[in-house]
Structures are given as structure tokens and as C-alpha cells.
Amino acid sequence: MSGPLGVILAGGRATRMGGGDKGLLTLGGRTILARVLERLGPQVGAIAVNANGDPARFADYGLPVIPDSLPDWPGPLAGVLAGMDWAAGEGASHIVTAAADSPFLPTDLVSRLQAAGDLALAASPSGRQPTFGLWPVRLRDDLRTALTEGLRKVVLWTDRHGGAVAEFEDDAAFFNVNTPEDLAEAEALL
């Protein structure tokens, strides 16, 4: 299989939003997840959603739903690992991750991550965007070990492996909806 597979990270608990799935919130008459799919879909070979709990809530999208393989909500790296495991089964060499609550992600995310390196995170003027990355599947056992040993910070793991950075000029491309106020701001940005 050529090209990376896409993994939408939706495995969080959305505590600042009062629980539920932020990607399933409506923004401009469509779910945020539908907007993420519209932007990421043309850039990757196939897409899966990393989410915990009942996968049926994503049934309308017709996508594989892959849960974290580690207990206790260990964070976005667990979603990356779940995506790597899925991609290994699909014969892919890389995955690209994007957050389920980021409706304005760049339409050139994948090409710019690939130009940066084999393992790369997006960065904007406000800093690295650790849920937007290009991840080589061959590092999945190392990531599994790191998570089992308690590592939770994405940048600590990517730095350990010489992760590159793909620079983007616009913070708005990585705007994510974490609170009801953010959802109102996203409506205004539309």
C-alpha cells in the first residue's frame, strides 16, 4: 500500500466540554468530524477513528473504529499506537494523525509532514501540535514499551526518535474545540 493511512484521534474524554464526543458536535450544520474527514480524506489512503467506548456512535461514517489497546486513558500516544497497530494490519508504513475536534486542519497537512521527515509533528506559531503527526509504523513496539513504562508526552517520545517539525504559518488551522466557548468561536471562524 502506498501513502500513509489517516487516524482521527477521538479517544479523549472531553471533560472540558462536559463529556461526550467533541467530533460529533455540530458546527455550521455538520459535525466537526465530517469537516475533519473532508479535509483529511483526500490526503490519505484510508481513515480510521481512534475512539474508546461504543463504536456504534460512529456507524454513520462507515469507518473502522479502533480503541486504545492500553487501559486508563493514557492520552494521544495511545491513539497513535492503536493507529499504528491498525495500519500494520493494513500493510501501511506510516499513519498521519489529526484531532477529531479540529475542523480547520490544513489541506496540505500530509504532504508537508512527509516533506519534513519520516517522523514529524506539525507546528504553528504557538508551538508544536502533537496530535497532528506522521508516524512510522515500524516504531510501534518502541511506542508500546514507552507507554507501558509510563511515558505520556508526545514530544518526549518524538524527540527521542529525532522527530522533525513541519512548520505551518497559521494557528487557526489547528484550532480545536475544547469548550462551549471554543465551539462558538469556531462558528464565528466559519
Give the model's pLDDT for residue 74.
82
- The reported pTM is 0.93
Name which residue leads in pLDDT, 1 or 91.
Answer: 91
Give the model's pLDDT for residue 15.
47
Give the model's pLDDT for residue 71.
83
CA of 109: how far to CAs of 4, 106, 121, 129, in Å? 12, 5, 10, 12
Give the model's pLDDT for residue 2.
60
| Contact between residue 44 and residue 116 where contact means Cβ atoms under 8 Å apart | no
* Average pLDDT for the chain: 93
DSSP string covering the chain: --SPEEEEE--S--GGGTSS-GGGSEETTEEHHHHHHHHHGGGSS-EEEE--S-GGGGGGGT--EE--SSSS---HHHHHHHHHHHHHHHT-SEEEEEETT-TT--TTHHHHHHHH-SSEEEEETTEEEEEEEEEEGGGHHHHHHHHHTT---HHHHHHHTT-EEEE-S-GGGG----SHHHHHHHHHH-
User: Which domains, ranges and CATH numbers included, belong to the chain?
Assistant: 5-184 (3.90.550.10)
| Contact between residue 22 and residue 100 where contact means Cβ atoms under 8 Å apart | yes
Name which residue leads in pLDDT, 8 or 70.
Answer: 8
Give the model's pLDDT for residue 188.
92
